[in-house]
Amino acid sequence: MQAMIEPRVEELVDFTATYVRRALEPRLRGHGKIDVRKTGRWGFTIVHRYVSEWNGREVALPVAQLRPKGTKLGLYWKRANGRWVPYEDGQDRPFVGTLEACLKEIDHDHWGCFWG
């Protein structure tokens, strides 16, 4: 029996970052790019990086955070006070889903939490 080869964490982070960029960058319509930063062992933060039209400085705006919840991911958004809080699913429950489901929710942004 062949031993199962575990992927390195760096390989998973690279794959995830590429997948997230492909899913969300079309939404930006050329205004900046998506950056993915590792948060903890398996979680990550999605950041919108762009150059300010007012002062020409680079801005890094945190969009969402995904944290492991069993075999799925919990979706979080950053409040104005700087705290990350669970994003709710419309039935007053924290949103938990696959990476694809979380990215779709971030893209649709029903409550205006991620993109303003």
Quickly tell me which residue has 């919108």 as its tokens: 48
- Compute CA 105 distance to the chain's CA centroid, rounded to the nearest angstrom: 10
* Domain membership flag for residue 77: yes
- For residue 5, name the pLDDT band (cuts at 50, 70, 90): very low
The neighbouring-strand residues paired with 92 are: none
* Domain membership flag for residue 47: yes
* Domain membership flag for residue 115: no
H or E, element range at 99: helix 99-108
Look at residue 1 and tell me whether its pLDDT is greater than 50.
Answer: no
Task: Judge contact between 67 and 40, C-beta under 8 A.
Answer: yes
Tens of pLDDT, residues 65-107: 999 999 999 999 999 999 999 999 888 999 999 999 999 999 9
* 8: helix, strand or coil: coil
Global pTM value:
0.83
How many domains would you assign to the chain?
1
* Domain membership flag for residue 3: no
Query: CA–CA separation, 44 vs 26, rounded Å?
Result: 20
Residue-range definition of the domain harbouring residue 67: 9-108
Tens of pLDDT, residues 6-28: 545 455 556 788 889 999 999 99
